[in-house]
Amino acid sequence: MKEAMRRLRNYGIFVSMLAVALLGSYQYLSGYTTVSNNVNGKEMPICSVETKEKKVALTFESAWGDEDIARILEILKKQEVRATFFLTGEWVEKYPEGVKAIRDAGHDIGNHSESHRSMGSLNEEEQKEEIMSVHRKVEELTGVRMDLFRLPYDNYDDAVIRNLQSCGYYPIQWSVDSFDWKDYGADSIQEVVLSHERLDNGAIILLHSGTKYTADALEALITGIKEKGYQIVPVSELIYREEYHLDVTGRQIKD
């Protein structure tokens, strides 16, 4: 009996030590799920996803004009591809019809901040306003409650990531940059993406709307990605929402 009590007590100590260790590095969103964006003490955004399935995500940042959005949506429809569009609050205000068209086509709508400022340079209150102001606009306009956030200029620190999480957001950056915003031409966009060393399972590809050549490059880009055997899915269907951690490259790994 004594022996059993001693074991029970030791087990109790072990469990509470484990709980302390876990609480140190994990953030509890609810009683049963753990998510951690903490890598070696630093908070990271999600840049890709570890998966055995051959799937990748196409993401568009929309912060500039809307002159190419109809064409982009047309090509995605023709290719039967759903993508993820990260919108700024200013874009949402200027182009409400574009926002609705994106929603109606079944694409993800993500948050790209209210006014595309470097989040790391803002105080906590300003950060929350940058996040929630566009959140409210999109919900009012479309009924969509966004939970994916693309950080402007890839700029963040630990506080920004924690703020995003406390607003209910997953920070989503990328693993494959098309450099489409540099206006090197459609061929360059296709070449950069299709020959990228990180174009593999779970890759997140960065594109923009409102650029010179992205729409021109899109059809051949999608065909090329498909020819490599990848299925293209929206970010919402690629990431893990609970029980994950990240490696140093921001790759999301299921626990």
Residues forming the site for Zn ion (CB under 5 A):
61, 63, 152
Considering the complex, state which of residue 61 and residue 130 has its C-beta at the smaller distance from Zn ion.
Answer: 61
Considering the complex, state which of residue 89 and residue 152 has its C-beta at the smaller distance from Zn ion.
Answer: 152
Query: Minimal distance in Å, beta carbon 120 to Zn ion?
Result: 14
SS3 annotation, the chain: CHHHHHHHHHHHHHHHHHHHHHHHHCEECCCCCEECCEECCEECCECEECCCCCEEEEEEEECCCCCCHHHHHHHHHHCCCCCEEEECHHHHHHCHHHHHHHHHCCCEEEECCCCCCCHHHCCHHHHHHHHHHHHHHHHHHHCCCCCEECCHHHCCCHHHHHHHHHCCCEEECCCEECCHHHCCCHHHHHHHHHCCCCCCCCEEEEEECCCCCHHHHHHHHHHHHHHCCCEECCHHHCCCCCCEEECCCCEEEEC
Query: Minimal distance in Å, beta carbon 52 to Zn ion?
Result: 31
Check if the beta carbon of residue 138 is closer than 8 Å to that of residue 110.
no
Considering the complex, state which of residue 43 and residue 177 has its C-beta at the smaller distance from Zn ion.
Answer: 177
Check if the beta carbon of residue 131 is closer than 8 Å to that of residue 163.
yes
Query: Minimal distance in Å, beta carbon 15 to Zn ion?
Result: 45
**What distance in Å separates the CA atoms of residue 247 and residue 202, rounded to the nearest whole number?**
14
| The token pair that represents 72 in the structure block | 């982009």
Considering the complex, state which of residue 48 and residue 209 has its C-beta at the smaller distance from Zn ion.
Answer: 209
Buried b (16+ CB within 10 A) or exposed e, 197-209: ebbbbbbbbbbbb
Query: Minimal distance in Å, beta carbon 152 to Zn ion?
Result: 5
Considering the complex, state which of residue 51 and residue 113 has its C-beta at the smaller distance from Zn ion.
Answer: 113
Residue nearest Zn ion by beta-carbon distance:
61
Query: Minimal distance in Å, beta carbon 129 to Zn ion?
Result: 18
Considering the complex, state which of residue 35 and residue 57 has its C-beta at the smaller distance from Zn ion.
Answer: 57
Considering the complex, state which of residue 86 and residue 244 has its C-beta at the smaller distance from Zn ion.
Answer: 86
